[in-house]
Structure 1
């Protein structure tokens, strides 16, 4: 794998008590500065469009079938020999991850860890990120940015919702990311309900699962420690909740209500 990317434990001392501002790399819905700032009451000290070799964008982070089936994720890959440049259009297969790095105060950095699940669903990384110039060219500067990936993933084809994909696309435009990357995001399909059975499946999941999940994540935010880490019972509860929900979908739901993650 790419040298320079450091995989951390959610309990790592690196995350426990930052005393200086840290760069946080966003590549999903947090691309939108408006949502990032307003939703979490965070004010970045600086913002840069960056690229990280050795990571790639995926949509295998499981959400809720029929509602928000998949979220953006990233995974470690071998970086391509041919690196990103304005002359090489983004094809999604160059062994690089493009995103936005926010420079955050220690308090705001810990707010991100808490709001992203308090360590119940992510694997933290430190990755060397190269800021891009206004014309999209890679600069010689390198910043060490913290980012998060979800190790528990869904296999097979699956799409994020149109709502979620629009957050990514609008965020990329808001951040003035390179046009080839915006075109790449525009080309990614989104999950759409196309049948009455899927509408019933969506209703069932809204009624059965959403109330409990919303309460659970509020509890996570409240119980997460000052280091952004939730207690272990919360981690076990999350695994049980999502494991049961997706297990029932695989065994029964998709046969009764139709595809809840891959139709478009």
Structure 2
């Protein structure tokens, strides 16, 4: 695997029974320390801004059309060049910038449960290089766990403005390098522009959101001490999201308009 990245099975014993603090790499909405601590009642032992070679930020993790169409994701890539502090961040360097949190074993399992209990992600262990205050690479390399979503949406799609603001505000809270903040500011967000799209949003709120909220509460409850949900829960999630997005592609997009790429 490129750059020393190791792909893990969600049910791996290495994930199920941590006995020591672990580094967790956040690159999406968990960049926001406020949301990370308050929503999950987690207190990181330590926090570092890091860069990871061999991963790239994407927005192809499917959410709910018209509401939260896409979430942040990452994918394995070949590194093309090392980013230099002070230069523009284009996203094309073959590197991912994020924040690594050192978490207690209990808090680490809380993250796994809250992120879907293994129903929606592929865990990775990756070397992450700590950055200095000016964005330069240091000599400190930590092994961090992070999550990749293998089931993705193809084509153009954007995250909601609410979600993008979490990323942007989180990057500022963490004092990430200014070129990276400017890059996040330049990414478009999904915007509803027509009455048909507003109607599509309402339909999806009424039809899909209650069931999805109940489902994820069940996931958090049944994930237990290991942070991983049973296989039937995984199959249920695939069925739910497969049906929702399948109906969007076949019907909703044509009836209500674009639910993922309008900006």
**Could you report, residue by residue, the CA deviation over 1:194-242 in whole angstroms, capped at 9, with x for unpaired residues?**
0000000000000000000000000000011211000111101000000
- Paired with 2:84 and 2:177, the residues of 1 have a C-alpha distance of 10
After TM superposition, give the deviation of residue 162 of structure 1 in Å. 0.1
**Could you report, residue by residue, the CA deviation over 1:162-218 in whole angstroms, capped at 9, with x for unpaired residues?**
000000000000000000000000000000000000000000000000000000000
**Could you report, residue by residue, the CA deviation over 1:61-80 in whole angstroms, capped at 9, with x for unpaired residues?**
000000000000000000xx
Alignment of 1:28-177 (within 5 A): 28-78=28-78, 81-177=80-176
- Paired with 2:202 and 2:188, the residues of 1 have a C-alpha distance of 23
**Could you report, residue by residue, the CA deviation over 1:20-46 in whole angstroms, capped at 9, with x for unpaired residues?**
000000000000001000000000000
RMSD of aligned alpha carbons: 0.7
After TM superposition, give the deviation of residue 2 of structure 1 in Å. 1.9
SS in structure 1 at match of 2:20:
coil
Q: What's the TM-score once normalised by structure 2's chain length?
A: 0.99
**Could you report, residue by residue, the CA deviation over 1:74-124 in whole angstroms, capped at 9, with x for unpaired residues?**
00000xx42012143211110000000000000000000000000000000
SS in structure 1 at match of 2:211:
helix
Q: What's the TM-score once normalised by structure 1's chain length?
A: 0.98
After TM superposition, give the deviation of residue 3 of structure 1 in Å. 2.7
Contact 2:3 2:127 in 1 (8 A): no
- Paired with 2:171 and 2:228, the residues of 1 have a C-alpha distance of 29
Extract structure 1 runs of 4+ deviating beyond 3 A.
none
- Paired with 2:128 and 2:3, the residues of 1 have a C-alpha distance of 12
Contact 2:86 2:179 in 1 (8 A): no
- Paired with 2:87 and 2:160, the residues of 1 have a C-alpha distance of 29
Which segment is superposed worse, 224-233 or 47-56?
224-233
Structure 2, unmatched stretches of 5+, are none
- Paired with 1:204 and 1:225, the residues of 2 have a C-alpha distance of 33
- Paired with 1:3 and 1:176, the residues of 2 have a C-alpha distance of 26
After TM superposition, give the deviation of residue 13 of structure 1 in Å. 1.4
State the partner residue of 2:6.
6
Number of residue-to-residue matches in the alignment: 262
Alignment of 1:191-210 (within 5 A): 191-210=190-209
Which segment is superposed worse, 11-20 or 189-198?
11-20
Which segment is superposed worse, 86-95 or 201-210?
86-95
- Paired with 2:32 and 2:153, the residues of 1 have a C-alpha distance of 25
Structure 1, unmatched stretches of 5+, are none
After TM superposition, give the deviation of residue 16 of structure 1 in Å. 1.2
